[in-house]
């Protein structure tokens, strides 16, 4: 883009060089304009309570035909919540006029359909301020702005309760363990249930602990490793009961009591080792990508936000 940003700015708009965003208002409706140098375009952002407007359909219809009405409009879309984005191609000398025409049109449509600027986060129509959050320009109400600055109480910022999380993980892992035992009884390689154990443990941790941190993920993985051994132990006890219970009149308790003795038999040990090796390998193979994804997601959530008010 060969244009001087200062030369394309509509009347009364301000350019924040560091954040590369132009902001201002037309007839009381605030707009954010992001110059997209690489594509030779400007992106106009409008945050408004379109969902609450009775004229929503008409407004969307207006957006729909915008590309035909103005040849410089490359794209006009609505995210279904509160943000309208319009990309316009830079025509250098005409940019200032194009931007001005488009925004006055949008502002008068907003007025016509009773659409007002709203907070990008909570969607409330309140006094708003423009800011860049992690480099993205947004409009925020005072309370959302404070939350972003303090990084507190946000969706990803819930306080973790490790103790309850641990209980949740144990309950979840137990569910997965049941699956292991059942699959084992049917005679399949139970290892695939190792994934269920890891998955259910993480789910349980998140449900009761309110948030899954990296610490939580590690707790879940360690717990799952233990549970897999436990599941194999139970499977073995059940197998003994099933095979020998009738013949030797063994109770369930007797069968479980015999496990240590059975484990001294090299044949049994070999079978158990094979089960466990398969189990761990399959569990790692199956849960690796989902655990990795969660791990990364946690990193994103824990990154402190940078908030720059304009």
Q: What is the smallest separation between the CB atom of 121 and Zn ion, expressed in angstroms?
A: 5
Residue with Cβ nearer Zn ion (34 or 144): 144
Count of positions (residues) in the chain: 310
Q: Are 77 and 85 in contact (CB under 8 A)?
A: yes
Q: What is the smallest separation between the CB atom of 124 and Zn ion, expressed in angstroms?
A: 5
Interacting residues with Zn ion (CB under 5 A):
119, 121-122, 141, 144
Alpha helices (runs of H) in the chain, residue ranges in sequence order: 5-8, 56-64, 66-69, 95-112, 142-150, 162-186, 192-209, 214-248, 252-257, 259-263, 266-302
The DSSP-derived string for 85-107 is EEEEE--GGGHHHHHHHHHHHHH
Q: What is the smallest separation between the CB atom of 140 and Zn ion, expressed in angstroms?
A: 6
Residue with Cβ nearer Zn ion (12 or 127): 127
Q: What is the smallest separation between the CB atom of 145 and Zn ion, expressed in angstroms?
A: 8
Starting at the edge strand that comes first in sequence, how are the strands of the sheet with 73-78 ordered? Answer: 14-16, 21-26, 29-36, 41-47, 83-89, 73-78
Q: What is the smallest separation between the CB atom of 123 and Zn ion, expressed in angstroms?
A: 7
Alpha helices (runs of H) in 113-161, residue ranges in sequence order: 142-150
Angle at CA of residue 194, ends 190 and 200, nearest 5°: 130
Residue with Cβ nearer Zn ion (131 or 240): 131
Starting at the edge strand that comes first in sequence, how are the strands of the sheet with 128-133 ordered? Answer: 136-141, 128-133, 307-309
Residue with Cβ nearer Zn ion (122 or 222): 122
Residue found under tokens 């600055």: 149
Q: Are 199 and 176 in contact (CB under 8 A)?
A: yes
Q: What is the smallest separation between the CB atom of 150 and Zn ion, expressed in angstroms?
A: 14
Residue with Cβ nearer Zn ion (82 or 255): 82
Residue with Cβ nearer Zn ion (102 or 132): 132
């Amino acid at each position: 883009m060969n244009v001087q940003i200062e030369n394309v700015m509509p009347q009364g708009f301000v350019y924040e060089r560091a954040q590369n965003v132009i902001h201002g208002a037309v007839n009381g409706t605030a707009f954010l304009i992001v110059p997209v140098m690489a594509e030779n375009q400007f992106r106009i952002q409008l945050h408004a309570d379109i969902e609450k407007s009775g004229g929503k359909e008409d407004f969307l219809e207006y957006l729909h035909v915008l590309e035909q009405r103005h040849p410089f409009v490359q794209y006009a879309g609505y995210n279904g919540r509160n943000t309208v984005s319009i990309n316009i191609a830079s025509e250098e000398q005409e940019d200032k006029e194009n931007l001005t025409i488009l925004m006055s049109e949008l502002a008068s449509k907003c007025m016509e359909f009773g659409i007002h600027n709203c907070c990008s986060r909570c969607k409330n129509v309140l006094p708003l301020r423009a800011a860049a959050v992690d480099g993205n320009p947004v409009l925020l109400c005072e309370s959302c702005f404070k939350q972003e600055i303090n990084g507190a109480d946000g969706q990803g910022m819930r306080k973790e309760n490790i103790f309850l999380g641990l209980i949740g993980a144990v309950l979840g892992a137990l569910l997965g363990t049941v699956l292991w035992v059942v699959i084992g009884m049917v005679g399949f390689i139970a290892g695939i249930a190792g994934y269920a154990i890891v998955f259910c443990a993480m789910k349980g941790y998140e449900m009761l602990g309110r948030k899954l941190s990296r610490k939580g993920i590690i707790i879940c993985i360690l717990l799952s490793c233990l549970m897999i051994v436990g599941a194999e132990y139970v499977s073995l006890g059940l197998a003994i009961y099933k095979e020998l219970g009738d013949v030797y009149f063994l109770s369930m308790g007797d069968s479980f009591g015999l496990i240590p003795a059975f484990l001294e038999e090299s044949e049994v040990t070999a079978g158990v080792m094979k089960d466990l090796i398969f189990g761990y390998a399959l569990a790692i193979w199956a849960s690796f990508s989902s655990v990795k994804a969660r791990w990364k997601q946690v990193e994103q959530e824990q990154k402190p936000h940078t908030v720059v008010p304009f």
